[in-house]
Structure 1
Amino acid sequence: MINLNVLLWVTLGTLGSCAEVTVVINGTVVDCRGSPCACCNGGVKRCNWEEYCDAGCVDTIWGYRCKNICYGNCYTCQQEFGIPCNECKNTFYDASSNCNESCSVGCNNGSCFDDGTCSQCTENFEGVKCETCNQGKYGSNCSNDCLHQNCRCTNGTNCDSCKAGFYGRTTYCQSPCSAGCQNGECNDDASCTCRQGFVGSLCMECITGHYGEECDTRCSGGCSDSMCLRNGTCNQCRPGYYGEQCNNICASGCSDGICKRNGACTCRLKYTGSHCDSCEKGRYGVNCKHECSVGCITSSCGKDNGFCNCLPNFNGKQCLLCTDGFYGTSCQLHCFDKCINKACSMSDGKCTFGCMDGFTSDNCTAHCHADCRACAQHDPLICTSCFNEFSGTNCKCPPNCNCASGSDICLSCNNTYMYHDKQCKCHAQKCCIDQGCNECINAKYFSYKNSCCECPNSCKDGLCSSGHSCQNGCEDLFYGSFCSLKCTDIDNKCFKCAQVDGSCLRCTEGYFPNVNGTCMKCLLSCKENACDPDNGRCSKGCKDGLWGIHCTETCNLLCKTCDRMNGDCIDCVHPVLYGPICNLSCSSSCISSKCNDDGECLNGCSDGYTGVKCDTVQKTSEDVRSSAGMVVVWVVVGISATLVTLVIIKRRHIAIKVIGEVRSAIKNGRSKTDINNVYEDIDDVTGDPSHNQEYEMTQTSTEGVERRSCQYSNTTLRQCY
């Protein structure tokens, strides 16, 4: 290319026999033949002693002394001979022909490369040499428009050839070549060389197994033989597939996994819907094998995950859990109150996080051993924490003691406490009045070997007179001179006992002290078997047919229930009876023969009778017939009442006999087995189904314990002396 820093021009003239060669160097016109080395590249100073330009000549000049002009339109040439041409002047090309070829007028700035190609074309020109008018243009400057835009024309109306990418010159090139033609070009008959992926004479078809505009997309694997149309539509689907392109898999609910082209099929068990893609109502999951939770508001739930909205007391995304405090298949049961956080297993109510202090068992309904503040959930005897600083797995080891494992035997003391034989409750400095601990600060301590020892907890109010006796007696549950024995060691149902001999004075609920000083079950004659734990009196009243403080008296044979204190009848065994001993009959003229305790009819009178007791006859023309009817009624009522009364009298005679045996058994201290047999006789008479239960009357040794005898009367269970 031309060096823009040096403006060169050459003037050729004839002056005699010599041609004038001039150039402009750095703005000065220089005659290359006027003086030696005038046109050396770098000036005359680059001319050697032989007058040879050793740096070459300026552009367009050649020769040893740089006096000759390059041939043709050559801009730079070889220094010695002027050939070959190295570079052409602007707007010329082909150095091999001394640049005799002119660049196309379509080249930008008229400049081109040595092969005539242009770096960029001017407007309306195209081609590598920019010598062709753009499609639809013609003229020397390609500024005129052809009538048919897809044609190349020379006069505006003719069609010499088609624009690249179109064919059909006779129809003015209206048809585009197939997208499958190489470079998008085709012959005038539309035939062409196909691109990769295309086949056919016109390259309009895809190779087998492909489709799409570029034929570069594989047919769906669901297509039979993997063949499809240009748009991807399969001719036929393989078994188990459906859709236009057979790219959908038949629903898992379709029988044998086969469906029609639209996806419809015959459903397997547990599936529903035209495409068998839904679970039957109430089911979800893979193969619809899971059932929606009973906790869902409706029987339906999420097809894939079983999620649903929950009924009250249910929780969780699938409503499979009970809310805190409930359990059971329908979460309708309350977790037991003693469960920590009231949390329990949905299936069986077992407490999830264990029990509150003092309770044990799976559902925390059982009590820990009395010595334990808290115990293991599986064993009430294994203590996990103790009261009053006691320690050990059974909380038997007293405070400040070191005991053998699982034992309450104090082996040594700690924390500066003394005398393990005194349960380490003695201290040489605490609670002492004088330095020698000969006197203690109050009656809650006693002096022992230069120390003050705490009175035992079993002493009432914590007061003791010495190390050997309690000042105010024993706390409940303890007895003995030093209150060191437990009432429960004699009877585990005993709550309070006599300090001297340990005979029970009060029992736990459902029991009362018997003549032996041990606890026996409340009498079955008590309603709900409930009695006073001190004296056995029935606390909730008597069962039907009995009266008295201990419900050991029998009501009149015709009474169903009677007054507990005086035995007067409250209800009679038959509705036609009334009176304090149910020995009077309601008037047969009373409707349904029902009357109150005074004999007054409750439902009014039969026809023909009047008065509060319906005992006044209204005289009418029908008196005779009515009288006959009443006779029949009286006979029927009399027979019925007689039969009922006989049955009741028989049962009551047996009951009287059995109750007498109960009294005798209690009085004589008979064995548990004998009394249970008597109780079962009562059950047989009264129809009480509880006779299968065990009736306990605890018998313990009375050796070394004061014996007491008791007498029974109608109003008092026992009088002991």
Structure 2
Amino acid sequence: MTAWSGRLIRWHYLHHRSVLVLLLAASLPGITLGCDEGLYGPDCDKVCSSTCEFGRCDAVTGKCLSCPPGKDGSQCNRDCKTGRFGHGCDQYCSRYCWSGSRACEPVDGTCLNGCKAGYLPPLCADKCPSGHYGINCTSDCISNCLDGKCDHAYGYCEKCPVGKTGGRCLKDCPSGTFGMDCAENCPPSCLNGLCHPITGQCEACPEGFKGEACNETCEVGTYGLNCSQLCSSACVGGSDLCSPSDGACLQGCEPGFMPPLCDKECPDYWYGPNCQQRCSVMCKDTLCHAINGTCINCEDGRIGTYCETECPLGTYGQNCAYQCSTNCTKRTCDRSTGKCLLCPIGQLGDYCDKVCPTMRFGPSCWLACSASCQDGLCHHETGDCFSCPTGRRGKRCHKDCSPGRYGIGCEDRCSRQCEGGFEQCNPVDGTCKKGCLPGYMPSLCLDECSKSTFGRNCAQRCNQTCADQVCHFKSGKCFSCVPGWLGFFCDKECPLGTYGAGCKGVCSDNCEGGLHNCSTTDGICRNGCVAGFQPPQCVEECPSTLYGPNCAELCSENCTGQECDARTGVCLSCPVGKEGDFCETECLPHRYGANCSEVCSAACQDGVCHHVTGVCYNCPAGKTGDVCDQNCTKGTYGPNCSSQCSRLCLHSECHRKTGVCHHCPPGRIGNFCNEECPATMFGLNCKQSCSPGCLNGTCDPETGFCLDCPEGKIGYHCDQVHAECEASTDSSDTACYGICSEHCVGGVKSCSPVDGACHDDCEIGYLPPRCAEECPPTLYGPGCSMQCSADCLDTLCNHVTGSCLACPDGRMGDMCDQECTSTKYGPECSQNCSVHCVDQTCHPASGICTACPRGRTGDFCEQECSPQRFGARCLQICSEACTDGLCDPVTGSCHSCPAGITGDQCDRECPSGLFGLGCEKTCSSACLNGVCEAAIGSCLACPGGMSGDLCDQAVPIPATAKPAKQEADWTTIGVAVGAAGGVLLLTTLVGCIVWCRRRKGNFSDDTVDISETSTRF
């Protein structure tokens, strides 16, 4: 410090209403003026407050020259008032902090709860940088926005690219418009007035026009929308001669092509210019060359360019390429199918490839086999029996067996054990007519008696006491006896006390009732065993877990190992915790262990414990552990320490027996700290009184801070006073740190000087009481009292009007309260429903068609029905009767029917008199009654004197032929005479047979069976 001999001028600054006060101080001559840094006072012996920034203060007054961030006051000992921050609290929190201008960090101004939408943390003073928006600027503007720029708060695009519109530029320009902001109209010549939303080029032109503006006519040889299709080269006169609008050939089509476009070959069954001529019905499936009509293939049985010639004799099938079967008589067969016209003897079938069925033979298999044949079966050509029934012989099985023989073919010999000799047997089955000799079994007398029978005809049964009931087949003596019996015929029972085979077994003395109750068969005691022995023979003692007569009782489950005395059932030993003969009694309540010899711990509640383990059932209050020898751990109390101390107790500590809290935290009282301090008290045990400056004397029960202050008072204890603030945005007064909102109704001069609340409410869209914040994103309107429409996307709307910021797919309108029109869908209803949908209507969100027209399927009805299906969603199957199973995908009507069939479903034959494809041909007038086969037109019958497929060939008449009536009369007479002659011949033949039988007494092998003969006739 420099000493002056004159005056020293010192400048001091006081910050109050921005007034600079100049103080002039004079120092006495010879006195050193000014203090060292950090000291003040007349003698510079006082130290500046440690709270001053850099420890510097005024050398005279000691007031701090400056304060560190977050502090103010002459000694920098006061925290910044709410809403201020920085050096000397000279800066204001941003009004864009999320909770308003009272919610920032007093040192550096960081907003405590983040920023309002559109402002950049941490100070929330700057708007989001370009390309970002939303809370804390964490959202990116969508790519649809022009240059990626959008509204800093809610992300609305500032401007849209060419051809786009809407808040998020998701919509294409409305129909009929294009360009920047969709401000230009599409050219009027565009089809339906539609053009590309960006370039304005027509999406499509009317038929016959082309070009970006559809103002150019099609070039020669082209036609249709945008002149994109080429005229057919099959037009008569060439591709230049077609309509530019629809491509129809002006002079018709060349042969083989179908009008009007001449771009498709003739359909099946048609040929020639414009496909107006029908293929020949003789062609295979009526199919021919589309240009000249020559058959592609012929119907079976025909050949030639137009299939006009039948197959030569002995051939058949397509192009007559097949030979008739060698089985056919003279190899003659049907020219179409190849079926034989006549078969050899013993054969039948379409191709004579089958022999006669069983029991038939001869030409056409119309003769029956002899009834004497085995099962009626014979050779299909000769009629000879394959085999004879038992007792018969001969080619036709007409002879009986000779004596001593029987069976099939009389090949078996009768038994010599027949009573009366082998001649006494039946020739059919060989049974002995008078029975068998002793020891042999009827009825054939070939086998000895079975093991259990003997005597004549084996009619007697062996004694049941014979072993296996087997005895000698003639005498009946037993070979051995069953257990318990003796003698040749095993008819003597074992002596008392013995049993079994040969009576060699000895009965047990433990049978109940003595030896009389021992079975002689197997030694089983009939009345059971005495106590301690187990049946059936009472020789073995009971198992360790059973006791009593017959070991029928189960030892008590209480016995150790469930083992007991075999006679009495008394337990051999008891498990721990049980006592008594049958271990049925648990230990007394105060005892436990083996034989109940242990005493429960005295620490147990009432001295009672578990009878096996000795663990206490319950412990008294404050104790725990198996034998109640442990105190409760911290935080628990009561019996078994099973209760938790109140969470309101300080450090959750309480008395281990009663649960009473040791101490309560500040602001609470009571045994369990469950009561708050009285309204005017606070602190530990509620012993401190609230500041007298608090409104109504009430304060926070924990901290003592006033809950509210009287008007004009501020501070935690309402002990600071400031002058009344004027209604102004001027914040230079240290007591007036708030700025009235410009959104108060009535302006910035219409708010409370105490808390900034607007006197006359807020402008629409701002949050009371201070009106400094916009409504939260889901609220809008006066006082933010209205809820955004639930139809809005994410329930977000404009804070003033309530109009939705965006709509979900399928909805539109300011409030998103309108569904898309029936033909629109998607975001902002900007997409058109598929043209294939019924009435072009679809789901407003997904675009899936509401319904498909008949003949189409798929979500967007984009697929035609697959072949052989039709109807709604292609769920129906075409009739199997349709040619190739193909039908109209809409109606299901068959495209075409096979020859001879008609109807939408090919379910009717041609009407009488018509035939062929579509039943369009008329039967030949030469057919009888004009009726013919429906497929190919062959006459079903011809008038007299005519023949041939079309009845066009006369039948030759011999020169000696009589008139028809005379011929019919002679025919009738001939039939009558023939019948009479047949009867006479039959009678004569029968007489001869009878005469021969009487003469010879028997038929020879070659004799004809009368039944066979009659069958033939």
TM-score relative to the length of structure 1: 0.25
TM-score relative to the length of structure 2: 0.20
Query: Where is the strand percentage greater, Structure 1 or Structure 2?
Result: 1
